Amino acid sequence: VLALDGKIKEVGDKIFASNGKEVDFASALESCEEAGGTLATPMNEEENKAILDIVKQYNRYAYVGIKEGEISGQFNYINGTPLNYTKWHKNEPNGKGTENCVEMYTDGSWNDKKCNLYRLTICEF
């Protein structure tokens, strides 16, 4: 029996789930896609809170499905569409083109971060 209590959250028509593994951004995205989903991408406050519940459960920062685009300081969803919801931490994003990925802190706010660090994998289906 799989013990998934607290590791799966359902919001609207999305399901968020974590395998508890910490990997770099590309590996996290790849493992989510191999499982038939994509990296967890908060599109509104409710979804952000559901992802945060998993982040808190593991007490680990997690990558979300947002990356810096061609223009420095401009972030998009990983499918390339512009953000319609943000939850940036105070004074973020501040990487100015050197921090191309986005992580979620344990308070639910976001920070732009380098993509090669190990963060919790949370997928959405």
Q: What is the CATH number of the domain that holds 89?
A: 3.10.100.10
Residue 71 has a pLDDT of 86
Domain contains 5? no
Residue 2 has a pLDDT of 47
Domain contains 6? no
Q: Bridge-partner residues for 120, per DSSP?
A: 22, 62
Residues of the chain with pLDDT under 70: 1-6
Domain contains 101? yes
The CB-side HSE value for 99 (13 A sphere, CA atoms) comes to: 13
Residue 5 has a pLDDT of 57
Domain contains 31? yes
Domain contains 47? yes
Assess contact for 65 and 40: CB atoms under 8 A.
yes
Domain contains 2? no
Domain extent, residue 79, equals 11-123
Residue 72 has a pLDDT of 87
Q: Specify the number of domains making up the chain.
A: 1
Domain contains 4? no
Domain contains 17? yes
User: Which residue in 43, 53, 47, 44 sits closest to 107, CA to CA?
Assistant: 53
